[in-house]
């Protein structure tokens, strides 16, 4: 009898444990299902035990970031912390670097020693030169679980044209950015008010009409107490410094606005001289503001640096990027100014000049499967709306994604102007950036100090640019 009772007790205990196990399993499945339904996809931790293809190794990702006022490690701190929380086996170390020639030299030397960063930043025009040192971001070739489309297709749809063109090579994404800065028109409201001008210029024709009222020469008539706009000059008499910051990007901008591309990205060739007369019109227009024989004369080689002139109240209009705003605030916090869209020649061909820095992957990362996987996942993560919105809010720069820009268009007027600019921003291929910039400075030097006509100087500039194209890309 005792044996029978003992057997029944064991049977009951076994069944009880089985029932408890079944109930526990059901609860686990229900809780897991609720977690999947209630927690947004980008907030869920990656369950490495579920997918054997996800590396389990602990990795540290080193990221070199050039330090700018708006973009540095602090800009990314929140989104990086979120990524690390979702993926506790990944640690990301962002190292702020001083930007300049030394940055690129240090980068190449570090990679040559096998000690380079896993991720680093380059200028959008640097991509072709650095292709031997980097690899594509493979995560963009995977399929989005929410849309069923490859991420690269979403990328092409979601990012503005200049970003898509300058970060993709042979249908592979090589770099990720969060902004597209662009040239717009800074306006000194007080100078316009004093001149009896109610509205800033919207077109170049508007601006030309305003020049006489905004221009005031000194008693010797050889320079200006006040200028309408800083255009027309390049390098000084020593062919070194310029009193117009970013003049080598303003000139191409005017060429674009005249309907002339400088480089054919599809056929990979220079087209700077393909519509010579129209491009020359843009050159002559730029030069006219520093030509004493022109009605547009309002600036010359004796004028001060244009940023200094604007912040000190001696310049009505200044063409520059959004990154200049903190400098203006610092130099003259009481300056009464606004930002308006850069004037256009043709409202049906709106153009401005834009640039950005992108983050790319060191090719040496390919030697470590786990690191390559997580570097790719990080950059894919940084390209998504939530992270892009966060970074844009922290930096104050115009976005690179269309949905981010759409939100910026609803905000502060200055942000609206630069956000609109990101949609129409353009640039051209500069395989050797420094030499290409020098072309425009040299062209104006020859006109101002060597007596060349703009036509002859421009022909020489075309020849120099074509030679740079033939020489191919150069690292800095």
| Residue-level pLDDT at 49 | 39
Question: CA distances (Å), 458 to each of 253, 410, 411, 432, in order?
Answer: 15, 42, 41, 19
CATH class of 59-180+356-425: alpha beta
Q: Give all strands (DSSP E) within 305-423, no chain letters.
A: 315-320, 337-340, 352-355, 357-362
| Residue-level pLDDT at 11 | 45
Chain CA centroid to CA 307, Å: 22
SS3 95: strand
The reply to whether 59-180+356-425 and 182-354+430-471 are identical in fold is yes
Beta-strand pair 224-229/315-320: parallel
Q: Which of 21-30, 45-54, 69-78, 415-424 has the highest mean pLDDT?
A: 415-424
The residue among 331, 270, 219, 231 whose CA lies nearest residue 461 is 270
**Spatial strand order in the sheet of 90-98:** 90-98, 59-67, 119-123, 357-362, 134-135
CATH of domain 182-354+430-471: 3.40.190.10
| Residue-level pLDDT at 16 | 55
Beta-strand pair 269-270/263-264: antiparallel
pLDDT interval class at 54 (50, 70, 90): confident
186-229 tens-digit pLDDT: 999 999 999 999 999 999 999 999 999 999 998 777 889 999 99
pLDDT at 459 over 60: yes
The answer to which of 2-6, 50-54, 183-187, 232-236 has the lowest mean pLDDT is: 2-6
Torsion of CA 334, 335, 337, 343, to 10 degrees: -160
pLDDT at 94 over 90: yes
| Residue-level pLDDT at 101 | 84
Percent of the chain whose pLDDT exceeds 90: 82
User: What is the helix (H) or strand (E) element at residue 308, kind and residue range?
Assistant: helix 306-311
With vertex at residue 15, the alpha carbon angle to CA 11 and CA 16, rounded to the nearest 5 degrees, is 115
pLDDT interval class at 31 (50, 70, 90): very low
What is the largest distance, in Å, between two alpha-carbon atoms of the chain?
Answer: 127
How many Å is the Cα radius of gyration of the chain? 29
Mean pLDDT of 112-141: 96
Alpha carbons 110 and 374: distance in angstroms, whole number? 21
What are the residue boundaries of the structural domains of the chain, listed by start? Answer: 59-180+356-425, 182-354+430-471
Asked if 226 contacts 216 with a C-beta cutoff of 8 angstroms, the reply is yes
Mean pLDDT of the chain: 90
**Which spans in 39-147 are helix H?**
73-86, 101-112, 127-130
388-414 tens-digit pLDDT: 999 999 999 999 999 999 999 998 899
272-306 tens-digit pLDDT: 989 999 999 999 999 999 999 999 999 999 999 99
pLDDT interval class at 239 (50, 70, 90): confident
Asked if 388 contacts 401 with a C-beta cutoff of 8 angstroms, the reply is yes
* pTM for the structure as a whole: 0.88
Q: How many residues does the chain have?
A: 476
Q: What secondary structure does DSSP assign to 66-78, as a single string?
A: EE-SSSSHHHHHH
């Amino acid at each position: 009898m005792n044996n029978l009772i003992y057997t029944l007790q064991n049977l009951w205990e076994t069944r009880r444990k089985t029932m408890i196990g079944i109930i526990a399993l059901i609860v686990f499945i229900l809780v897991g299902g609720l977690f999947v339904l209630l927690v947004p996809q980008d907030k869920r931790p990656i369950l490495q035990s579920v997918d054997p293809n996800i590396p389990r190794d602990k990795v540290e990702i080193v990221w070199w970031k050039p330090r700018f006022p708006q973009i540095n490690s602090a800009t990314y701190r929140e989104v990086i912390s979120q990524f690390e929380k979702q993926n506790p086996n990944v640690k990301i170390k962002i190292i702020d670097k001083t930007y300049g020639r030394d940055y690129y030299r240090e980068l190449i030397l570090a990679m040559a020693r096998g000690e380079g960063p896993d991720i680093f930043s380059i200028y959008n025009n640097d991509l072709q030169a650095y292709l031997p040192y980097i690899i594509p971001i493979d995560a963009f070739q995977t399929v989005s679980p929410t849309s069923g489309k490859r991420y690269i297709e979403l990328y092409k749809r979601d990012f503005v044209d200049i970003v898509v063109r300058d970060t993709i090579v042979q249908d592979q994404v090589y770099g990720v950015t969060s902004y597209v800065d662009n040239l717009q028109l800074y306006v000194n409201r007080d100078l316009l008010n004093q001149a009896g001008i109610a509205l800033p210029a919207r077109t170049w024709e508007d601006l030309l009409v305003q020049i006489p009222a905004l221009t005031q020469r000194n008693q010797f008539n050889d320079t200006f107490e006040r200028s309408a706009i800083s255009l027309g000059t390049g390098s000084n008499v020593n062919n070194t410094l310029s009193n117009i910051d970013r003049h080598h990007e303003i000139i191409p901008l005017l060429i674009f606005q005249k309907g002339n591309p400088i480089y054919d990205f599809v056929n990979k060739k220079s087209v700077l001289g393909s519509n010579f007369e129209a491009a020359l019109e843009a050159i002559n227009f730029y030069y006219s503001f520093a030509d004493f024989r022109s009605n547009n004369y309002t600036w010359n080689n004796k004028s001060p640096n244009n940023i200094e002139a604007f912040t000190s109240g001696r310049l009505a209009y200044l063409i520059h990027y959004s990154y200049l705003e903190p400098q203006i605030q610092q130099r003259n916090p009481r300056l009464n100014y606004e930002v308006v869209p850069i004037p256009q020649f043709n409202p049906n061909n709106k153009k401005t000049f834009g640039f950005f820095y992108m983050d790319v992957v060191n090719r040496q990362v390919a030697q470590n499967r786990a690191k390559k996987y997580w570097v790719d996942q990080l950059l894919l993560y940084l390209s998504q709306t939530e992270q892009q919105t966060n970074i844009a809010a922290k930096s104050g720069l115009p976005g690179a994604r269309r949905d981010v820009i759409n939100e910026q268009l609803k905000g502060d007027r200055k942000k609206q102007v630069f956000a609109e600019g990101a949609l129409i921003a353009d640039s051209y291929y500069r395989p050797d950036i420094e030499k290409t910039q020098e072309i425009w400075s040299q062209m104006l030097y020859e006109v101002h100090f060597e007596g060349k006509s703009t036509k002859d100087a421009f022909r020489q500039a075309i020849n120099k640019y074509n030679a740079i194209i033939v020489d191919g890309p150069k690292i800095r």
